[in-house]
């Protein structure tokens, strides 16, 4: 918060919630990128279709479908085995994924299904390779998982928009009009708070302990126990103390 105008009869301060704006824009951009990935690039379902052309020749086609139904097709020749890999996350969670091994490389199926489901798929593929059955059809579906992640991204994007559109606060003290006017204006609308100067007891500082530091905001202490924050967001100590000093000096000179 800073003083943007000071005359003998008027003092105007302004607070721009830049931290909220930057946080909101960052959250929105990251979540939008992840949402695009979920919708267009991440596989929501997969289908593996294999045909035995001869006793020692098997051809397969792997189709991966995104949430919008678009398919990616992969030809798999001479599958030799299928195995399941386990990945451990940083918080102890585990994910499982079936990988089909061929002479030409490895082909992964979906990665957000349970251990039992992946184990069953690996067993079906290996059983088909070792048997003489003529065809195999295996399907996997993780649409619920992708849909949930996409919904979560939309919710976080809404939070990002809310932060990015936080209003600018303007607080003006008028000696000639004998009032204080607080205006909060942004894309979400405008709020105006108005009180006579004689109802002001003092200008105080509120502090709040966050994870790594304390932040501060200036508050108008009114009669009848009413407190009005000049800047709703907490900010650094130096700018708040300087603003409060200037306000108190201005109000003392008006008495």
Q: Whole-structure pTM over 0.85, yes or no?
A: no
Per the structure, the count of domains in the chain is 2
Q: What is the pLDDT of residues 152-178, one digit of tens each?
A: 999 999 999 999 999 999 999 999 999
Q: How many CA atoms lie within 13 A of 29 on its CB side?
A: 7
Asked whether residue 49 falls in the same domain as residue 126, the answer is yes
Query: CA 208 to CA 245: how far, in whole Å?
Result: 20
From residue 162, give the alpha-carbon distance in Å to each of 41, 81, 152. Answer: 28, 51, 15
In a domain, 155, yes or no: no
Asked whether residue 117 falls in the same domain as residue 178, the answer is no
Asked whether residue 68 falls in the same domain as residue 137, the answer is yes
In a domain, 136, yes or no: yes
Asked whether residue 126 falls in the same domain as residue 54, the answer is yes
In a domain, 36, yes or no: no
Asked whether residue 58 falls in the same domain as residue 133, the answer is yes
In a domain, 149, yes or no: no
Residue 96's pLDDT band (boundaries 50, 70, 90)?
A: very high
Asked whether residue 50 falls in the same domain as residue 127, the answer is yes
Query: CA 207 to CA 217: how far, in whole Å?
Result: 7
Residue count (the chain): 255
55 closest CA partner among 27, 78, 26? 78
Last residue of a domain, one of 141, 159, 183: 141
Query: CA 82 to CA 110: how far, in whole Å?
Result: 13
Asked whether residue 176 falls in the same domain as residue 115, the answer is no
Q: Is the pLDDT of residue 255 over 60?
A: no
Give residue 51's domain range: 44-141
Q: What is the pLDDT of residues 128-154, one digit of tens each?
A: 999 989 999 999 999 999 999 999 999
Residues 6+ apart with CB under 8 A from 99: 82, 83, 84, 85, 106, 107, 108, 109
Asked whether residue 118 falls in the same domain as residue 65, the answer is yes
In a domain, 159, yes or no: no
Residue labelled with tokens 């949402």? 35
Query: CA 234 to CA 1: how far, in whole Å?
Result: 10
244 closest CA partner among 206, 210, 215, 214? 206
The answer to whether the CB of 110 falls within 8 A of the CB of 97 is yes
Main-chain dihedrals φ then ψ at residue 126, nearest 5 degrees: -65, -35
Query: CA 126 to CA 226: how far, in whole Å?
Result: 73
Asked whether residue 62 falls in the same domain as residue 118, the answer is yes
H-state helical runs in 132-236: 143-164
In a domain, 26, yes or no: no
* Residue 226 confidence (pLDDT): 85
Asked whether residue 7 falls in the same domain as residue 49, the answer is no
Query: CA 100 to CA 116: how far, in whole Å?
Result: 17
Asked whether residue 98 falls in the same domain as residue 185, the answer is no
Residue 248 sits in a domain whose CATH number is 2.30.29
In a domain, 88, yes or no: yes
Residues 6+ apart with CB under 8 A from 109: 46, 48, 62, 97, 98, 99, 100, 118, 121, 140
Main-chain dihedrals φ then ψ at residue 29, nearest 5 degrees: -65, -45
* Residue 43 confidence (pLDDT): 92
Q: What is the pLDDT of residues 12-59, one digit of tens each?
A: 999 999 989 999 999 999 999 999 999 999 999 999 999 999 888 999
In a domain, 23, yes or no: no
The larger pLDDT score, comparing residue 194 to residue 89, is at: 194
The average confidence (pLDDT) of the chain is 91
Residue 254's pLDDT band (boundaries 50, 70, 90)?
A: low
């Amino acid at each position: 918060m800073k003083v943007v105008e000071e005359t003998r009869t008027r003092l105007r301060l302004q607070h721009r919630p830049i931290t909220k704006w930057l946080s909101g824009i960052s959250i929105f951009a990251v979540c939008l990128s992840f949402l695009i990935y979920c919708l267009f690039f991440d596989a929501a379902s997969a289908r593996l279709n294999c045909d035995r052309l001869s006793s020692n020749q098997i051809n397969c086609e792997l189709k991966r479908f995104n949430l919008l139904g678009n398919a990616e097709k992969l030809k798999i020749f001479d599958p030799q085995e299928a195995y399941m890999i386990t990945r451990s996350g940083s918080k102890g969670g585990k994910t499982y994924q079936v990988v089909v091994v061929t002479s030409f490389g490895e082909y992964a199926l979906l990665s957000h299904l349970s251990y039992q489901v992946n184990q069953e798929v690996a067993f079906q593929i290996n059983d088909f390779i070792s048997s003489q059955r003529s065809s195999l059809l295996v399907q996997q579906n993780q649409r619920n998982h992708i849909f949930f992640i996409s919904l979560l991204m939309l919710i976080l994007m809404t939070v990002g928009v809310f932060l990015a559109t936080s209003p600018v606060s303007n607080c003006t003290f008028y000696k000639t009009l004998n009032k204080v006017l607080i205006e909060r204006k942004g894309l979400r609308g405008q709020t105006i708070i108005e009180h006579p100067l004689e109802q002001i007891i003092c200008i105080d500082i509120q502090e709040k302990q966050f994870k790594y530091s304390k932040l501060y905001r200036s508050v108008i202490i009114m009669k009848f126990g009413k407190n009005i924050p000049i800047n709703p967001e907490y900010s650094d100590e130096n700018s708040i103390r300087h603003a409060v000093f200037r306000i108190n000096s201005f109000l003392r000179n008006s008495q």
